Chains A and B, each alone.
Chain A
Amino acid sequence: MSEVRLEKVEKRFGEHVAVRDIDLLVRPGEFVTLLGPSGCGKTTCLRMIAGFVAPTRGRIVMGGRDITALPPYRRNTGMVFQSYALFPHRTIADNVAFGLQVRRLPRAECDARIKDALCLVHLERFADRYPGQLSGGQRQRVALARAVVIRPEVLLLDEPLAALDPKLREELQVEIKRIQSTLKITTLFVTHDQGEALSMSDRVAVMHDGRIVQIDSPEVLYERPNSRYVANFVGRTNLFNVVVREKLDGGMVRVETEGASKASFIAAVTDLKVDVGARCLLGARPEHFHFGGGRANTIQAKVRGATYLGSIRYVDAEGSEGQSFAVQVRPGEPTPSLGEVVVISWRPESCFLLRE
């Protein structure tokens, strides 16, 4: 268990800046995810820690040791690749053995550790097969075993589930999380899938354009996103342009929409410092909206459409000023019909204010 720290790390490829001024601390045993769309610099960050890419500026510290200038083979990180990257000419056992063989470990210890690692991923029966004879999910579990068998200081996972189908992906999410918590290994996971990020991580760092926009626990990230970008990237969010009108007791503020209707809402303010007159975004998740009145914030809207996703149903509604937003229909609740005018209400605690 080691901590990994990026200090003011920047990476340029010619004119293009892939990673800008990143500070990141992954604590010992922690599972941190870098979440972002392709091209946001998340994979570059991971590859800099593995040593395949040299940072243009900044330091990388692992377990108290500055590894910025070390070649990949002196770093003791365990990486899992999106393409599995299993050696096709070696059996499963030999793939797992590779890192131990180049470390010149005694034969008996090698064998014992290979057996443990294969048991950990439930593939002990496949030791003598070749990678070509295994399914995608099994191959990725071999890759995982090969990465952890060398007891790396940090486990680096580069979109390991992207090539798998959804069902298998869920299974492996659980599997990876189980292995990670069994071994208590410091882990950095890269993905563009917010579901993976939220379900597996201790903390998630949302990246945009080479920067970390927000790093928080999945709950905080979802319930208190700090920007329009995070609010939209992680889950669905309804946003209203509002102006702060009044500070109330108990950490609440009264805000007013900017349009002609001047609808007034009450929102809880946690960490954001806002002044009266400031323009903000009021955000609320579809599942925080309820049909019918009875909560402090209400709005009238016309039903424009409905989306059925199996376990979840959304109604797309349009407010009087043309704002469109989504409301989650609760189980057993009837879906309002198209064109119907409904009242929607929500509680002040379940919405958040964002700086524009």
Chain B
Amino acid sequence: MIRWLALRAALFLAFAFLLAPVCIVIIVSFNGGPVLSFPPTHFTTHWYALIKPEFFAALNVSLIVAGATALLSVALGLPAALALSRGRFPGRDGLNSILLSPLVVPALVTGVALYQFSLTFWDFTNLALGGTLIGLIIGHLTFGIPFSVRAILAGHARFDYALEEAALNLGATPLQTFWRVTVPILRPSIVAGGIFAFVMSLDDVPIALFMGGGDATTLPVRIFTTVEFDFGGEVMAIAALIVGGSVLLMLVLDRLIGLDCLFGARR
């Protein structure tokens, strides 16, 4: 009984530790005083009304980049994961490590390298990557693809090949088998990989700092540069909106596919 209570208390403390900063951001965003303070002096919503349109433009950029990153990560990650888990070719283990390596390199280093790459690319082709959505998406794919490959490989580890054989036996061509059996069975891990890539893209600052700028400024970068000059209620209001959006996204995903299924807690 006592042990059970202690476990409960530990669980509660852990959640409190994780959620307290988030809660404080939301509470402070409704603070009516002239300076940031906690607890709030009086209630207002005018920080929300004050959010500048450039933040919404940045949010738009972030969502487009994150969406494209998620889709492309999955589209490129699925064939890569299938090749890595099923293929028998020389250098397979090496390729496996290479696909994992962007996760090991600090994002800042990747960002610098991408910046250098975009300059060289400009020199040779006169095409700009830096400061464009394409450049940002390419930058985010450096971690989006490894994430989706990992997720799909994990889901594929318990794949029953007899299912594909059954489909072929029933007259489905290899292509039909892929779309009607392989992809649906791997769908939870494909979706998980896509969501990981989406969230990581939305969260990224270092790479977006180097590859973005101008019309291709993401929301985190916009917040980051704003906070340097003006750390006020407006930023808190944006942060609170992001928290709200994330919670909403999680609720929708839980409804649609089940989060425990997504994170491998249940088959």
Write the residues of chain A forming the contact surface with B, with a CB cutoff of 8 angstroms.
50-52, 71-79, 81, 83, 85-89, 98-99, 102-103, 146-147, 150
**B185 CB contacts on chain A under 8 angstroms:** 87-89
**Smallest beta-carbon distance A49→chain B, Å:** 11
**Smallest beta-carbon distance A133→chain B, Å:** 13
Structural contact, A98 and B184, CB atoms closer than 8 A: no
Binds A, one of B142-150, B165-173, B216-224, B227-235: B165-173
**Smallest beta-carbon distance B181→chain A, Å:** 6
* Residue in chain B with minimal CB distance to A83: B162
* Residue in chain A with minimal CB distance to B183: A89
B160 in the interface (beta carbon within 8 A): yes
* Residue in chain A with minimal CB distance to B166: A85
**Smallest beta-carbon distance B182→chain A, Å:** 11
**B162 CB contacts on chain A under 8 angstroms:** 81, 83, 85
Structural contact, B169 and A79, CB atoms closer than 8 A: yes
Structural contact, A99 and B160, CB atoms closer than 8 A: no
B163 in the interface (beta carbon within 8 A): yes
**Inter-chain pairs besides A74-B171, A85-B165, 10 sampled, C-beta below 8 Å:** A50-B165, A50-B169, A51-B168, A81-B166, A83-B162, A85-B162, A102-B173, A102-B180, A103-B171, A150-B170
Structural contact, B170 and A83, CB atoms closer than 8 A: no
Structural contact, A89 and B171, CB atoms closer than 8 A: no
Known: A71-B168, A79-B166. A89 touches B184 (CB 8 A): yes
Among A52, A72, A86, A99, find the residue whose CB has the most chain B CB atoms closer than 10 A.
A72
Query: Whole-angstrom distance between the alpha carbons of A85 and B187 in the complex?
Result: 18
* Residue in chain A with minimal CB distance to B173: A73
Structural contact, A102 and B172, CB atoms closer than 8 A: yes
B176 in the interface (beta carbon within 8 A): yes
Structural contact, B170 and A99, CB atoms closer than 8 A: yes
Structural contact, A73 and B184, CB atoms closer than 8 A: no
**Smallest beta-carbon distance B131→chain A, Å:** 43
Write the residues of chain B forming the contact surface with A, with a CB cutoff of 8 angstroms.
160, 162-163, 165-174, 176, 180-181, 184-185, 187
Among B169, B171, B185, B187, find the residue whose CB has the most chain A CB atoms closer than 10 A.
B169
**Smallest beta-carbon distance B165→chain A, Å:** 6
Known: A98-B172, A146-B170, A150-B171. A72 touches B165 (CB 8 A): yes
**Smallest beta-carbon distance A76→chain B, Å:** 7
Query: Whole-angstrom distance between the alpha carbons of A289 and B139 in the complex?
Result: 83
**A73 CB contacts on chain B under 8 angstroms:** 168-174
**A74 CB contacts on chain B under 8 angstroms:** 171
**B174 CB contacts on chain A under 8 angstroms:** 73
Known: A87-B181, A88-B185, A89-B185. A81 touches B165 (CB 8 A): yes
Query: Whole-angstrom distance between the alpha carbons of A86 and B185 in the complex?
Result: 11
**Smallest beta-carbon distance A96→chain B, Å:** 10
Known: A85-B160, A87-B181, A89-B184. A76 touches B171 (CB 8 A): yes
Structural contact, B170 and A102, CB atoms closer than 8 A: yes
* Residue in chain A with minimal CB distance to B168: A72
**A85 CB contacts on chain B under 8 angstroms:** 160, 162-163, 165-166
CB pairs A–B below 8 angstroms (9 shown): A72-B168, A73-B172, A74-B171, A81-B166, A87-B181, A87-B184, A98-B167, A99-B171, A102-B171
Query: Whole-angstrom distance between the alpha carbons of A74 and B172 in the complex?
Result: 9
**A77 CB contacts on chain B under 8 angstroms:** 169
**Smallest beta-carbon distance B118→chain A, Å:** 42
**Smallest beta-carbon distance B86→chain A, Å:** 15
**B171 CB contacts on chain A under 8 angstroms:** 73-74, 76, 99, 102-103, 150
**A51 CB contacts on chain B under 8 angstroms:** 168-169
Among B170, B184, B185, find the residue whose CB has the most chain A CB atoms closer than 10 A.
B170
* Residue in chain B with minimal CB distance to A99: B170
**A50 CB contacts on chain B under 8 angstroms:** 165, 169
Query: Whole-angstrom distance between the alpha carbons of A76 and B169 in the complex?
Result: 7
Q: Which of these, A79, A99, A102, contacts B165 with CB under 8 Å?
A: A79
**B166 CB contacts on chain A under 8 angstroms:** 79, 81, 85-87, 146
Query: Whole-angstrom distance between the alpha carbons of A277 and B181 in the complex?
Result: 65
Query: Whole-angstrom distance between the alpha carbons of A76 and B187 in the complex?
Result: 29
Structural contact, A98 and B160, CB atoms closer than 8 A: no
Structural contact, B169 and A102, CB atoms closer than 8 A: no
**Smallest beta-carbon distance A48→chain B, Å:** 13
Structural contact, A72 and B169, CB atoms closer than 8 A: yes
Query: Whole-angstrom distance between the alpha carbons of A35 and B172 in the complex?
Result: 30
**Smallest beta-carbon distance B260→chain A, Å:** 15
**A147 CB contacts on chain B under 8 angstroms:** 169-170
Query: Whole-angstrom distance between the alpha carbons of A50 and B171 in the complex?
Result: 11
Query: Whole-angstrom distance between the alpha carbons of A292 and B181 in the complex?
Result: 65
Query: Whole-angstrom distance between the alpha carbons of A71 and B169 in the complex?
Result: 9
* Residue in chain A with minimal CB distance to B162: A85
**Smallest beta-carbon distance B164→chain A, Å:** 9
Query: Whole-angstrom distance between the alpha carbons of A72 and B173 in the complex?
Result: 9
Query: Whole-angstrom distance between the alpha carbons of A77 and B170 in the complex?
Result: 8
**Smallest beta-carbon distance B48→chain A, Å:** 43
Query: Whole-angstrom distance between the alpha carbons of A141 and B142 in the complex?
Result: 48
